[in-house]
């Protein structure tokens, strides 16, 4: 990420990532903590079990910080987990998630799934629409895959 930021000539103000098991979220948190930007990594919960996810992210991040000799403790305050988009439950998308999936496919050609990436994309789009990022912010969406899950949900998209 640092290399990409250097090549682009700017640093991202925020990173949005789906968070379920917590490993990717935790790794990004530790990496950005090294630059003093830990709280700029926003995990969007897709587990519908936010307390478990938050605890996993914290535990993994703390262990990772020790392994890489970060030089500072990772605390609960460093873990930013937005819990608004995981529902109605794990694996079941809501209308906002389905709208985000369709919007990304139509406008950007980016495929997201109803279980993971669709929920986190819904969260990021909603945060932008609600003005939760300061104007001019450089926000990176970390797409982690999950596209094969679309096959199991194809009936939701038969009309577009």
pTM to 2 decimal places: 0.93
CA atoms of 78 and 30, how far apart (whole Å) = 9
H helix or E strand, kind and range, residue 140: strand 139-142
Tens-place pLDDT, residues 110-146: 999 999 999 999 999 999 999 999 999 999 999 999 8
> Any bridge partners for residue 41, and if so which?
15
Of the pLDDT bands very low, low, confident and very high (cuts 50, 70, 90), residue 58 is: very high
Half-sphere exposure of 52 (CA within 13 A, CB side): 6
CA atoms of 100 and 123, how far apart (whole Å) = 9
CA atoms of 43 and 120, how far apart (whole Å) = 8
Tens-place pLDDT, residues 69-121: 999 999 999 999 999 999 999 999 999 999 999 999 999 999 999 999 999 99
| pLDDT beyond 90 at 27 | yes
CA dihedral over 2, 56, 82, 71, signed as positive or negative: negative
The residue extents of the domains of the chain are 8-146
**Residue 92 Ramachandran class (φ > 0 left, ψ -120 to 50 alpha, else beta):** beta
Starting at the edge strand found earlier in the chain, the sheet holding 139-142 runs: 80-82, 41-45, 14-19, 139-142
Q: Tell me which of 3.30.470.30, 3.30.360.10, 3.40.190.10, 3.40.50.1100 is the CATH number of domain 8-146.
A: 3.40.50.1100
């Amino acid at each position: 990420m640092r290399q990409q930021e250097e090549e682009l000539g700017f640093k991202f103000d925020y990173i949005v990532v789906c968070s379920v098991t917590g490993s990717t979220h935790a790794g990004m948190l530790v990496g950005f903590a090294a630059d003093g930007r830990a709280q700029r990594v926003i995990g969007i919960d897709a587990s519908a079990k936010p307390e478990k996810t938050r605890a996993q992210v914290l535990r993994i991040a703390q262990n990772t910080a020790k392994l890489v000799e970060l030089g500072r403790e990772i605390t609960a305050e460093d873990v930013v987990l937005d819990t608004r988009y995981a529902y109605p439950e794990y694996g079941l998308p809501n209308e906002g998630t389905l709208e985000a999936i369709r919007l990304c496919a139509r406008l950007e050609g980016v495929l997201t799934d109803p279980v993971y990436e669709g929920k986190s994309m819904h969260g990021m789009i909603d945060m932008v629409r609600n003005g939760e990022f300061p104007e001019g912010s450089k926000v990176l969406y970390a797409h982690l895959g999950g596209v094969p899950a679309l096959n199991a949900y194809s009936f939701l998209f038969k009309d577009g």
